[in-house]
Structure formats: C-alpha cells, structure tokens
Amino acid sequence: VEAARVGLPFGPDLDLLCAFLAASLPLCPIAAGAGLRAAVA
C-alpha cells in the first residue's frame, strides 16, 4: 500500500501476494480438517 501511495510500482508486490494466495488455497482444507480432528480428539 505504501508503494502505491507514493507512486512506486507495486506490481511485484501484488504478484508475490497472489502467489502466496495460490499456494495456500489448496492447503486450507487440509489444515482445517487437521484442526477439527485435533479439537474433537
């Protein structure tokens, strides 16, 4: 946000954020399932 506010290019920051999102989406159901199993057991 700071880079965009001062007029610097923010494309690489946005690309990195999107890459983290794309990597974490498939792992979310696995982590949620593990958390629910741990809470029940």
pLDDT of residue 16: 95
What pLDDT, on a 0 to 100 scale, did the predictor assign at position 26?
Answer: 94
pLDDT of residue 4: 83
pTM tops 0.75 = no
pLDDT for 25: 95
Q: What is the pLDDT of residue 34?
A: 96
Amino acid at 24: S
The model's pLDDT over 1-41, given as tens digits with 9 standing for 90+, comes to: 888 889 889 899 999 999 999 999 999 999 999 999 999 98
Beta carbons within 8 Å of 13's beta carbon, 6+ residues apart: 3
Q: Give kind and range of the element (H or E) at residue 7.
A: none
Q: Do you know the residue count of the chain?
A: 41
DSSP secondary structure string for all residues of 10-41: -HHHHHHHHHHHHHHGGGHHHHHHHHHHHHH-
Q: Are 13 and 19 a contacting pair, CB within 8 Å?
A: no
